[in-house]
Structure 1
Amino acid sequence: MASKSLDAGSDDKLAEFLRGASLNRSIPLRDQVYVLVRKAIVTGKLAPGAPINEIEIASRLGISRTPVREAVKKVSDEGLVEVFAQNGTFVADISRKQVEEAYIIRIALELESIKRAASTITTEQIQDLEDIINAQEIAVKRARFDEAIARDDDFHRYIAEVNDLTMLWKVVDISKAQMDRCRLLSLPSPGAGHETISQHRAILDALSRQDQQGSMQALQAHLETSLQNTLSYLDAVKASAPAA
């Protein structure tokens, strides 16, 4: 990425994603600021190249710069921002390589997750997963794509939590930061949301039969489809970009 300079609309973008933010002083501020900044980047509210002004963020939130600096460092570790010594901190471009690497991690971990879940999942847990899919379907029909993505994550997280594999999901969640940036942009594509829901139902069907191999195959097919859709989106964006 070339060095950046502050754009005139940066303050407006910053104000938009911080508007209505409320911090709980009883829990670490750095963790709350991290969630705010990460969400702003992942959802596209802060686009590639947008500046991250730590002083301005601290001022708007009414806190010291220290928790903001710690939060931005954590976001930087995930490859979401880049720091230029002479120019400042900016939202990073979406990395195709990091997207592919994230899927390698995600597929490996989630296959182990669902392998374990298939043999222990209960009828009540199957019903909970069905409720999540139904909520996701409603969100897609109403074009509430950020909500649909949240329910998508709920579905995968719940499977990990069937066997209390909460740390597994945390690793997946951190590693998939780059892919998440593509999801909100690519989901409005015709049929994309409905394809995901259909694949989730196939996964659920295998789980309901406690079919370990079938569950793993359905999940792998789902994640590989997601990867190909994401890479196709990135390739299309690159192809349409003006020559440097």
Structure 2
Amino acid sequence: MDLDPSTLNRALPLRDQIYHKIRNLIVVGQLKPGEVINEVAIAEALGVSRTPVREAVKRISDEGLVKILAQTGTYVAPISRADLEEAYVIRRALEMESARRAAAKFTAAASELLEDNMAAHRLAISRGRYATAIQLDDVFHRTIAEICGLPMIWRAVDISKAQMDRGRYLAIPRPGYGEQTIEQHEAIFDALKRHDAEGAARAMEHHLETSFRNTLEVAADLLG
């Protein structure tokens, strides 16, 4: 487990930083389903007291990524089809509306932001930098939420999509999946440029449905 204490900013709340560290380890698969979350070991590795670690783990548990079992221990939650489907339903509803609203506010400056993002995304895929590609994918979706003027949409999506992200890190190395994502981003982008609200929403729906289907296919052996 990669827990470098030098990356902590002691002037900022430790609980939030530790939350992001542990959550990311779960999402990218470094902490696997069923693996024990040892709060004492994490606290020692980071050079902090157990309190911020316990608070961070409780927050992650509230998102369904960790199971805390009395008298037994704390474990990384399994990837379940029900959780994946719930995350997909929430994300589809919010991001279709995000794309719909962004189309009316799409500007030349917004166009440049997404063009630069897609160029960087293509490069990451071509070089096999899959973790970077997923981060750039998130930036694409977050930018659309910011364009529509409702950044809280992305905050809600970011919390709910963690279950899908676990599958995405398994799926993206599959041949063609990264290129497929870029093509679908381009379709969303083209609709936004035309200020076609319904076209953008439909393109977003198709993109998220494909991601969900790919995740189910790749994670089939892990689904609880």
Q: Normalising TM by the smaller chain, what interval?
A: over 0.9
1:118·1:211 contact (CA, 8 Å) conserved in 2? yes
Judging changes above 3 Å, is the alpha-carbon distance between structure 1 residues 205 and 228 closer, same or farther for their aligned structure 2 residues? Answer: same
2:167·2:216 contact (CA, 8 Å) conserved in 1? no
Structure 1 CA distance for aligned equivalents of residues 41 and 82 of structure 2 = 32
The AA in structure 2 aligned to 1:64 is S
1:114 CA drift (Å):
1.0
2:65·2:77 contact (CA, 8 Å) conserved in 1? yes
1:96·1:234 contact (CA, 8 Å) conserved in 2? no
1:30·1:71 contact (CA, 8 Å) conserved in 2? yes
Partner SS, residue 219 of structure 2: helix
The AA in structure 2 aligned to 1:72 is V
Deviation larger for 146-155 or 219-228: 219-228
Q: Which residue of 1 aligns with 2:211?
A: 226
2:121·2:136 contact (CA, 8 Å) conserved in 1? yes
1:39-50 paired onto structure 2 within 5 Å: 39-50=24-35
1:35 correspondence with 2:20: yes
1:87 CA drift (Å):
2.2
The AA in structure 2 aligned to 1:85 is A
Instruction: Give ranges in structure 2 of 5+ residues lacking alignment.
Output: none
Q: Which residue of 2 aligns with 1:207?
A: 192
1:21 CA drift (Å):
5.0
1:73 correspondence with 2:65: no
Q: Which residue of 2 aligns with 1:93?
A: 78
Structure 1 CA distance for aligned equivalents of residues 106 and 95 of structure 2 = 15
Residues 144-171 of structure 1 show CA distances to partners (whole Å, capped at 9, x for unaligned) of: 1000000000000000001332211011
RMSD: 1.5
Partner SS, residue 2 of structure 2: helix
Q: Which residue of 2 aligns with 1:12?
A: none
When the two structures are superposed, what TM-score results if normalisation uses the length of structure 2?
Answer: 0.96
The AA in structure 2 aligned to 1:112 is E
Paired residues, number: 224
Structure 2 CA distance for aligned equivalents of residues 80 and 41 of structure 1 = 8
1:183 correspondence with 2:168: yes
The AA in structure 2 aligned to 1:43 is V
Q: Which residue of 1 aligns with 2:87?
A: 102
Instruction: Give ranges in structure 1 of 5+ residues lacking alignment.
Output: 1-15
% identical aligned pairs? 54
1:19 CA drift (Å):
3.4
2:78·2:222 contact (CA, 8 Å) conserved in 1? no
2:5·2:47 contact (CA, 8 Å) conserved in 1? no
The equivalent position to 1:58 in structure 2, one of 43, 46, 62, is 43
Structure 2 CA distance for aligned equivalents of residues 65 and 95 of structure 1 = 29
2:170·2:219 contact (CA, 8 Å) conserved in 1? no
1:143-182 paired onto structure 2 within 5 Å: 143-182=128-167
The equivalent position to 2:108 in structure 1, one of 123, 126, 136, is 123
Residues 1-35 of structure 1 show CA distances to partners (whole Å, capped at 9, x for unaligned) of: xxxxxxxxxxxxxxx32136521122211000000
1:23 correspondence with 2:8: yes
